[in-house]
A = this chain, B = another copy of it.
Amino acid sequence: MTFPSLDEIKAAHQRIQPFIHRTPMMSCEAIDRLAGCEVRFKCENFQKVGAFKARGAANAVTKLTAEQRRNGVATHSSGNHAAALARAATVAGIRSYIVMPSNAPAVKKKAVEGYGGEIIECRPNLQARETTLQGVLEKTGATFIPPYDFMDVVEGQATCALEIFEERVTADEPVPFDVVMAPVGGGGLLAGTALLTNYVSPSTTVIAAEPAGADDAYRSFHAGELIPIDKPNTIADGLLTSLGKITFAAIMKHVDDILTVSDEEIVAAMRMIYERMKIVVEPSCAVPLAALLKHSPRFVGQKVAIILSGGNVHLNKLPFC
């Protein structure tokens, strides 16, 4: 399996500039004091469409051939990837077809439509999704852009860590991060983060954080083989999916450890981010901080970068309300 090179990731970063924000890194004295280390948060909750997914979708769209562009792109998703692909396609001036289950929340459908995506409804099960997507691809000739297990998407997600390592203490002195942490669901963000970190700062430890109720990455990592999870159950609704072949391979090669946390620990970390940092994050986003706080002795005195993956949360259903 050939992963993107550093030059290819840098080229991707250039190519997707018109599609993305350069998100800020924030720190919080109160959290540093509690954790006993120095944390910088990469705020992808401020990213376009409210999540890092904007990067991978944009990268996939910018790599289409002229012929592919004529027929547009398609995917099946009810989450951030759907919105990200719809927006990237619209910015690129091409069509997008998004297969969504008929019971997807109205607010998600509205977001996809708002970004210019064309929604095709299907019955709410995986088989119906795949059959419907197949029908769309055949009818339109659109190119399928999978949400994570796709090299162009991993390459795009890797640009987030590229920006992390461009942080400077002074003009010439990079921030010497000891650890980079990312949440893991399908593994696109984690795979990209691990690849990039291995290129630019191989001495930095890459640690993933996963909900205990959807711990397929944890189990696969330790078994050395893909063990998808059957019935994931966690408040971190962005991390329900299992790893794919590509993301698993990258993770086995370049990730140092995977830590799991309970939903209770996730909610406590989420609340801390709202209260102390005054920013809105989705539950999935709080998983790495939860893992850091749970295992704080191993991070004492270190410089840690945490990717806050997204901010698309149901405000009516915040877990601490």
Determine whether A176 belongs to the interface, using a CB cutoff of 8 Å to chain B.
no
Which of the 9-residue segments A70-78, A194-202, A244-252, A311-319 touches chain B? A311-319
Q: List 8 A-B contacts (CB under 8 A).
A: A45-B278, A274-B280, A275-B315, A278-B311, A315-B321, A316-B321, A318-B318, A318-B321
Given A24-B24, A46-B278, A280-B278, residue A320 in contact with residue B315 (CB < 8 A)? yes
Residue of B nearest to A311 (CB): B278
Residues of B within 8 A of A45 (CB): 278
Q: How far is the CA of A311 from the CA of B315 in the complex (A)?
A: 16
Q: How many copies does the complex hold?
A: 2
A188 within 8 A of B: no
Chain B min CB distance to A171 (Å): 16
- A interface list, Cβ under 8 A from B: 24, 26, 45-46, 50, 271, 274-275, 277-281, 311, 315-318, 320-321
| C-alpha spacing A26/B316, complex, angstroms | 25
**Cα A278 to Cα B277 with chains together (Å):** 11
Give the residue name and chain of the B residue nearest to A43 (CB): B278
In the complex the two chains form, what is the Cα distance from A196 to B165 in whole Å? 39
- Distance A279 CA – B274 CA, assembled complex (angstroms): 8
Q: A316 contacts which chain B residues (CB < 8 A)?
A: 320-321
Roughly how many angstroms separate A278 CA and B50 CA in the complex, as a whole number?
8
A317, B275: Cα distance in complex, Å: 13
Closest 9 pairs between A and B when the two form their complex, measured CB to CB: A321-B321, A278-B311, A278-B280, A45-B278, A315-B320, A274-B280, A279-B279, A318-B321, A274-B315
